[in-house]
Structure 1
Amino acid sequence: MTSDDRKKAAALAAVAYISSGMKLGLGTGSTAKHFVDAVGEKVKQGWDLVCVPTSEATRKQAESLGIRLTTLDETPVLDVTVDGADELDSELRLIKGGGGALLREKIVASSSRQMIVIADDSKKVATLGKYPLPVEVVPFGLKATGIKIDQALAWSGNKGPLIVRMRDGKPFVTDNGNVILDCALGHIHNPEKLAAALSSIPGVVEHGLFIGMASIAIIATENGVETLKK
């Protein structure tokens, strides 16, 4: 079973948690893409679903599948958000933002009664941090903000270089017009303390630590799908 097969298996397993009439948040990324495809199949079968996408890429995919979309202004409370993760630990703390959609992903997840994470088993780790932690920042004052992020890392017992995410030789720009600093920490000490410190910095729009948000993780392995609950 390939990595993509496992991602698809996790996505299909999440369909058991949704039903016609629900309001859904649709995640972003290679695993979430399989879930959006599955939602499209349910819509073709006649299910009544209305969804909020977490990125322009997901919006385009959902529209191509005939999924009815809404916004959080029109539908401010959702039933379930299903999304992937770049890393998750046994306490269902997550690192997200590898695809650059962390701000909208966090807003949508926090507007949902339940967040379900879908992933293949390579994303489950004993300690968060091997995957670089994304921090979305406004372009204005980028260097000054970076200094404050370094200070926040040190204060919370963490250390590692900050790298401006690039694409095609230019800084990657999010759907919200911001840039991302990837923090290569290797190991995150006290994720809660780091999350609070990052959130307090002017210029930081959002960070990729999702703590206390996911209640269920569906993880696909070579031997089948396992479910973790908080």
Structure 2
Amino acid sequence: MTQDELKALVGQAALAHVVPGELVGVGTGSTVNHFIDALAGMKDRIAGAVSSSDASTARLLAHGIRVLDAAEVTQLPVYIDGADEIDGRGHMVKGGGAALTREKIVADLAERFVCIADASKQVAVLGGFPLPVEVIAMAAPRLVRRFAALGGSATLRLKADGQPLLTDNGHPLLDVRGLQITDPLAMEAEISQWPGVVTCGIFARHRASLCLLGTPAGVQTLVF
């Protein structure tokens, strides 16, 4: 199976974790797009969705799925999202799609985080994928130096035209290479306290409850 077919497989499998009659938290990215397309088939059996990005909101609305703002919601039974990396304890690196801050906000509303990913995202130690960090622009040079002190190389994420890519919140992103994230919870807590950091792309405090992993043999369910 191709990587895209594996993503479609786990997107379909995630429907089993959607609670009928309730709202569902919806993440961002290519794997989640497959989930949104599958969710359209049961849109009349859910109360609607809370989305983590403008792109996912547009896709949900195009399917006729009601979208509520996170500020209108006090709790969600489940949040379904992908990952750029996931380790054996459910800790993740996220933010390749630049939606990490809103993803954490929606994940914080949810009782359970269901990660959907293809097998290439499973790693022993986080850090192979560049760690995304949403920052306040004026702090970026200082934060680049702080990451260098940890052994990481942080660069500003740019668009094709060479201009800084901005998140849906209007902030730039740093991508940090060269980190070995052996203690995700501690590193997330440390980086999150640095002045100028909006959100760090380590999801340890908001780790996955389970992961639906797409493999050539089918969907493997990992419970953490």
TM score, norm. by length of structure 2: 0.95
> Which one-letter code corresponds to 1:165 in the other structure?
R
Q: Given the alignment, which residue of 215, 220, 224 partners 2:218?
A: 224
* Deviation at residue 76 of structure 1 after TM alignment: 2.3
- State the 1:186 CA deviation: 5.0
Report the Cα distance in structure 2 between the residues aligned to 1:195 and 1:212, rounded to whole angstroms. Answer: 8
Contact 1:133 1:185 in 2 (8 A): no
- Paired residue secondary structure (2:113): strand
Identity of aligned residues (%): 39
State the alpha-carbon separation in 1 of the partners of residues 192 and 63 from structure 2: 36
> Which residue, 70, 74, 77 being the options, matches 1:76?
74
Residue 28 in structure 1 maps to residue 2 in structure 2: no
Distance (Å, rounded) in 1 between the aligned partners of 2:192 and 2:148: 13
2:181 corresponds to:
188
1:176 is displaced (CA, Å) by 0.3
Say which SS state the counterpart of residue 170 (structure 1) adopts: coil
Q: What is the correspondence of 1:118-197 to structure 2 with a 5 Å cutoff?
A: 118-151=116-149, 154=150, 159-168=151-160, 169-197=162-190
- Residue of structure 1 equivalent to 2:7: 7
| Structure 1 stretches of 4+ moved >6 Å | none
Q: Which moved more, 1:197-206 or 1:46-55?
A: 46-55
**8 Å Cα contact 1:149/1:201 also seen in 2:** no
Aligned AA (2:41): E
* Partner-residue secondary structure (3-state), 1:105: helix
CA contact (8 A) 1:149 1:198 kept: no
Say whether residues 1:200 and 2:193 are aligned partners: yes
Distance, in Å, in 2 between the alignment partners of 1:128 and 1:166 is: 23
TM-score normalised by L of structure 1: 0.93
Instruction: Note the 1:33-72 alignment, pairs <5 A.
Output: 33-43=33-43, 46-72=44-70
Q: 3-state DSSP class of the match of 2:90?
A: coil
CA distance in 1 between partners of 2:143 and 2:119 (Å): 35
Amino acid at match of 2:32: A
Equivalent-residue separation in structure 2 for 1:22 and 1:49 (angstroms): 5
- Equivalent residue of 1:125, what SS? coil
One-letter identity of the residue aligned with 2:170: G
Counterparts of 1:212 and 1:143, CA distance in 2: 27
Partner SS state of residue 130, structure 1 = coil
Q: CA RMSD in A?
A: 1.2
